[in-house]
């Protein structure tokens, strides 16, 4: 299992509990250097993350492997392959690299449209031309994942996995991924910081106050910090090849690495009281 450095904060004011805003280049440099020195050599980014790709490109000498994402496409365009090639060329230029390790489709439902075959062919041409090594999808919905896998072969699935959201590590999904030899990368492992700082949340979350009260009581009985619970829960799942960690500062990265390196024998199973309402576990639905 690998730690993968998330970089949304490198180009955006990202995360509902983010107290630092978009990171400055000097802080990004410290984070990247510390990551490399601790054997974290993969960065997850996207052209949709503001200046993230450009800021990472400022430190291309550190030789990170790059995961980036193809944004939502304008499927009305006649030459969709040309559009995709232009986007990838722009990402390569911003990142100052010649090859993307993993390209994820940020709007995977587009593969299920009438232009899906054209999109898939264009992405496989990128693989044939050695511009990308692996192809995958960034997905929120298990139904969409299943529909895509009926039609297409992919290498990587990036999906939310955390104490509150275990949909992608249920047996029906893990069996499908194992059968197809597809790697699973867990993102949103802290639910944008909500699981780490559940006492100080925006008003939107007040409707789930009882859930968060029970969550904190449950966590206190386990005798691990919220950070340790989130990370150790994922470490114990052998299906997960990579854990994407987003941090707001160098100090946070140090805390995450320390937590990851401290193995725990405590059995961490998702508590029964957890509410799987998509309005809670899917940040794209949050009204904040």
Q: In the prediction, which pLDDT does 20 show?
A: 52
Name the DSSP class of 249: S
C-alpha span between 45 and 270 (Å, rounded): 29
CB 190 within 8 A of CB 165: no
Sketch out the chain's domains with CATH numbers. 2-285 (3.20.20.100)
Q: In the prediction, which pLDDT does 286 show?
A: 87
C-alpha span between 73 and 84 (Å, rounded): 8
Q: In the prediction, which pLDDT does 5 show?
A: 97
- Tell me the average pLDDT across 189-218: 90
Say what percent of the chain tops pLDDT 90.
66
Please identify which residue in the block is written with the tokens 């961490």. 268
The 10 Å Cβ neighbour count of residue 128 is: 8
Contacting residues for 168 by C-beta, under 8 A, at least 6 apart: 142, 145, 157, 159, 160, 161, 184, 186
What are the DSSP calls for 115-182, one per residue? THHHHHHHHHHHHHTTSEEEEEEE-S-HHHHHHHHHH---SEEEEE-BTTB-GGGSHHHHHHHHHHT-
On the question of pLDDT at 262 being above 90, the answer is no
Q: What is the pTM of this model?
A: 0.92
- Tell me the average pLDDT across 237-265: 91
Contacting residues for 12 by C-beta, under 8 A, at least 6 apart: 22, 49, 50, 52
On the question of pLDDT at 271 being above 90, the answer is no
CB 70 within 8 A of CB 104: yes
Give the pLDDT confidence of 139-177 residue by residue, as tens digits: 999 999 999 999 999 999 999 999 999 999 999 999 999
C-alpha span between 71 and 103 (Å, rounded): 11
Which stretch of 16-20, 89-93, 110-114 has the lowest confidence by average pLDDT? 16-20
């Amino acid at each position: 299992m690998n730690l993968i450095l998330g970089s949304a904060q490198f180009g955006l004011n990202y995360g509902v509990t983010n107290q630092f805003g978009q990171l400055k280049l000097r802080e990004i440099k410290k984070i990247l250097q510390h990551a490399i020195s601790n054997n974290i050599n993969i960065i997850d980014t996207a052209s949709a993350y503001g200046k993230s790709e450009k800021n990472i490109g400022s430190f291309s000498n550190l030789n990170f492997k790059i995961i980036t994402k193809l944004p939502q496409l304008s499927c009305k365009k006649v030459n969709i392959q040309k559009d995709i090639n232009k986007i990838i060329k722009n990402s390569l230029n911003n990142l100052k690299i010649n090859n993307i390790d993993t390209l994820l489709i940020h709007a995977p439902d587009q593969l299920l449209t009438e232009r899906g075959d054209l999109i898939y062919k264009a992405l496989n041409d990128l693989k044939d031309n050695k511009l990308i090594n692996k192809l995958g999808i960034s997905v929120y919905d298990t139904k969409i994942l299943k529909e895509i896998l009926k039609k297409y072969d992919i290498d990587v699935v990036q999906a939310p996995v955390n104490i509150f959201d275990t949909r992608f590590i249920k047996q029906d999904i893990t069996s499908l991924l194992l059968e197809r030899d597809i790697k699973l990368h867990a993102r949103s492992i802290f639910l944008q910081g909500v699981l780490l700082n559940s006492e100080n949340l925006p008003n939107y979350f007040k409707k789930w106050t009882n859930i968060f009260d029970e969550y904190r009581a449950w966590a206190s009985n386990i005798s691990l910090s919220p950070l340790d619970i989130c990370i150790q829960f994922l470490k114990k799942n052998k299906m997960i090849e990579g854990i994407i960690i987003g941090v707001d500062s160098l100090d946070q990265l140090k805390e995450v690495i320390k937590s990851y390196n401290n193995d725990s024998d405590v059995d961490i199973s998702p508590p029964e009281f957890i509410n799987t309402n998509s309005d809670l576990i899917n940040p794209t639905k949050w009204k904040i």
